[in-house]
């Protein structure tokens, strides 16, 4: 049984897919005006791991994540550089795809862009106006929040409280300070023609339109994103979906927590932004994924020297045991049979299926590693048992997106290894050190 914490109901629920055996999942993608930082990488890794967990549970996943390629920040950057908006968005979409690949994040089945969906977005807004859920004011179009009975249901806020907060930046064109922009008349930057004005859409409509279009459905299983998107973005997505389709858009709303760097919120003004490409280059994809998944996805993730060092130690424990096992198998001229120990894997998957409880899944991995070490050190190594534990651990790591290359020894490698052991036995430590250095160079010890 898979359990998910649903932000819409604030409870842990059993996951029941709309179509048995399948999962439809949409995750809000980035606004492409800059390189991805570790805060952008977290949802990429978290929802990729959800996808891998579902697949390991024999479910077929359809995963869509968009690119917001129309936005004030993109326009600002385009003007600064004297280029078109598409030059900026193309550059950063490429950067995102590169970082996704280097983090072993599977490409979504589709990554639609706002600019490719403009006709659908405009007709969606027209429809909302026609139905009375939106109104035009001086070329702008606003969503009429008062028409939605349970507005605030996702973010658990009362409309009256929200109005108090929204009054501060009240726009006189709006009927109600909570009404949000669907279409904005603009003079600056890229614009499209609509019957309202020459302008561009607000941010909250694209995901609703893309979900309906890509999944060809009014309701999907899972909608994900960072906690910072819960309000207003996701609340407003639900409002629009309730208006036109009387649906909450998704049955399960999942939100990942935020990241702090050295105990502080990551921000440009603090100068502590950690770029995904830099951290991957420095530590490698295995460690970055391990680090990100070391905290439960709903908890805040602390990035500092201690958490990095701890992740390094944990991962090394597993890597070293695996490497020793690969070498042992090679030296004894055995081979790995591709059959896993189902019991070991099940204890890992059980934790993963419990709302992606990665800290508990890590514990299952450490238990399996302990067993691997014990099997490896037995007087008589049972290679079938050893092989099954190896395959189980590799499969667990694969769900986490961590990959360790198997070691294949050449005849020369084996000879070096034999000589190293012999020199050790003869207490010729000087020679042993030379062989050991060579073996380290070859990545064998």
Strands 198-201 and 301-303: unpaired
Please count the other Cβ atoms lying within 10 Å of the Cβ belonging to residue 119. Answer: 11
> How many chain residues bind Zn ion (CB under 5 A)?
2
Instruction: Choose between 23 and 207: whose C-beta lies nearer to Zn ion.
Output: 207
Instruction: Choose between 250 and 402: whose C-beta lies nearer to Zn ion.
Output: 250
CA distance 265 to 270: 8
CA distance 197 to 210: 22
CB 210 to Zn ion: min, Å = 8
Residues 404-423 that bind Zn ion (CB under 5 A): none
Which residues partner with 201 through β-bridges? 183
CB 233 to Zn ion: min, Å = 5
CB 199 to Zn ion: min, Å = 20
- Strand order through the sheet with 134-137: 134-137, 140-143, 181-185, 198-201, 192-193
Q: Where are the alpha helices (DSSP H) in 131-224?
A: 159-166, 206-215
CB 181 to Zn ion: min, Å = 15
φ, ψ of residue 265 in degrees (nearest 5): -65, 140
**Is 297:257 a contact under the CB 8 Å cutoff?**
yes
CA distance 83 to 370: 57
Instruction: Choose between 145 and 402: whose C-beta lies nearer to Zn ion.
Output: 145
CB 191 to Zn ion: min, Å = 22
Instruction: Choose between 218 and 395: whose C-beta lies nearer to Zn ion.
Output: 218
φ, ψ of residue 193 in degrees (nearest 5): -90, 130
Instruction: Choose between 228 and 428: whose C-beta lies nearer to Zn ion.
Output: 228
Residue holding tokens 């629009």? 240
Which residues partner with 256 through β-bridges? 226
CB 346 to Zn ion: min, Å = 35
Instruction: Choose between 59 and 125: whose C-beta lies nearer to Zn ion.
Output: 125
φ, ψ of residue 61 in degrees (nearest 5): -105, 135
Which residues partner with 198 through β-bridges? 193
Residue holding tokens 């760097």? 261
In the three-class reduction of DSSP (H, G, I as helix; E, B as strand; rest coil), residue 191 is classed as coil
Instruction: Choose between 152 and 285: whose C-beta lies nearer to Zn ion.
Output: 152
Cβ contacts of residue 359 below 8 Å, gap of 6+?
Answer: 294, 295, 296
The DSSP string of 322-383 is HHHHHHHHHHTT----S---HHHHHHHHHHHHBTS-HHHHHHHHHHHHHHHHHHHHSSS--H
Contact between 148 and Zn ion by CB under 5 A: the answer reads: no
CB 28 to Zn ion: min, Å = 3
Residues 388-407 that bind Zn ion (CB under 5 A): none
CA distance 428 to 422: 9
CB 64 to Zn ion: min, Å = 11
CB 237 to Zn ion: min, Å = 6
Token digits of residue 118: 């403009």
CB 236 to Zn ion: min, Å = 9
Q: Report the candidate in 32, 213, 36 with the shortest Cα–Cα distance to residue 123.
A: 213
- Per the rule left: phi > 0, alpha: psi between -120 and 50, beta: everything else, 156 is left
Instruction: Choose between 112 and 401: whose C-beta lies nearer to Zn ion.
Output: 112
Instruction: Choose between 207 and 266: whose C-beta lies nearer to Zn ion.
Output: 207
Instruction: Choose between 105 and 207: whose C-beta lies nearer to Zn ion.
Output: 207
CB 211 to Zn ion: min, Å = 9
Binding string, residues 9-28; x marks residues near Zn ion by CB under 5 A: -------------------x
Residues 25-44 that bind Zn ion (CB under 5 A): 28
CB 111 to Zn ion: min, Å = 13
Residues 193-222 that bind Zn ion (CB under 5 A): 207
Instruction: Choose between 249 and 361: whose C-beta lies nearer to Zn ion.
Output: 249
CA–chain centroid gap for 164, Å, is: 34
CA distance 252 to 267: 30
Instruction: Choose between 41 and 393: whose C-beta lies nearer to Zn ion.
Output: 41
Question: What is the binding site for Zn ion (CB under 5 A)?
Answer: 28, 207
């Amino acid at each position: 049984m898979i359990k998910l914490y649903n932000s819409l109901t604030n409870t842990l629920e059993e996951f029941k897919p709309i179509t048995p055996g399948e999962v439809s999942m949409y995750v809000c993608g980035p606004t492409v005006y800059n390189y991805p930082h570790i805060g952008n990488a977290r949802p990429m890794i978290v929802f990729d791991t959800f996808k891998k967990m579902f697949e390991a549970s024999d479910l077929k996943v359809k995963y869509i994540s968009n690119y917001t390629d129309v936005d004030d920040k993109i326009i600002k950057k385009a003007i600064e550089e004297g280029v078109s908006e598409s030059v900026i968005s193309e550059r950063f979409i490429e950067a995102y795809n590169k970082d996704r690949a280097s983090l072993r994040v599977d490409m979504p089945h589709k990554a639609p862009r706002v600019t490719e969906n403009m006709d659908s977005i405009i007709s969606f807004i027209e429809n909302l106006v026609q139905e009375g859920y939106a109104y035009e004011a001086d070329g702008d179009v606003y969503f009429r929040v008062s028409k939605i009975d349970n507005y605030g249901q996702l973010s658990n806020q009362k409309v009256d409280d929200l109005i108090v907060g929204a009054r501060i930046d009240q726009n006189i064109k709006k009927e109600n300070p909570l009404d949000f922009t669907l279409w904005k008349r603009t003079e600056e930057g890229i614009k499209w023609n609509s019957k309202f004005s020459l302008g561009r859409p607000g941010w909250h409509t694209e995901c609703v339109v893309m979900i309906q279009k890509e999944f060809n459905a009014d309701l999907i299983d899972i909608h994900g994103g960072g906690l910072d998107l819960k309000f207003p973005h996701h609340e407003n997505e639900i409002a629009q979906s309730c208006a036109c389709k009387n649906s909450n858009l998704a049955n399960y709303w999942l939100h990942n927590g935020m990241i702090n760097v050295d105990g502080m919120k990551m921000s440009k003004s603090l100068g502590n932004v950690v770029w995904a490409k830099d951290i991957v280059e420095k530590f490698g994809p295995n460690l970055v994924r391990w680090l990100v998944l070391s905290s439960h996805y709903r908890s805040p993730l602390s990035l500092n020297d201690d958490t990095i060092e701890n992740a390094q130690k944990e991962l090394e424990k597993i890597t070293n045991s695996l490497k020793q096992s690969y070498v042992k198998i090679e030296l004894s001229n055995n081979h790995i049979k591709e059959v896993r120990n189902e019991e070991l894997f099940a204890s890992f998957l059980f934790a993963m299926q419990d709302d992606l409880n990665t800290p508990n899944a890590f514990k299952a991995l450490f238990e399996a590693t302990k067993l691997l070490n014990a099997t490896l050190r037995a007087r008589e190594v049972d290679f079938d048992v050893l092989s099954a534990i190896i395959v189980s651990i590799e499969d667990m790591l694969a769900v986490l997106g961590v990959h360790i290359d198997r070691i294949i020894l050449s005849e020369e490698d084996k000879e070096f290894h034999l000589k190293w052991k012999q020199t050790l036995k003869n207490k010729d430590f000087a020679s042993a050190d030379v062989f050991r250095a060579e073996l380290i160079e070859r990545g064998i010890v």
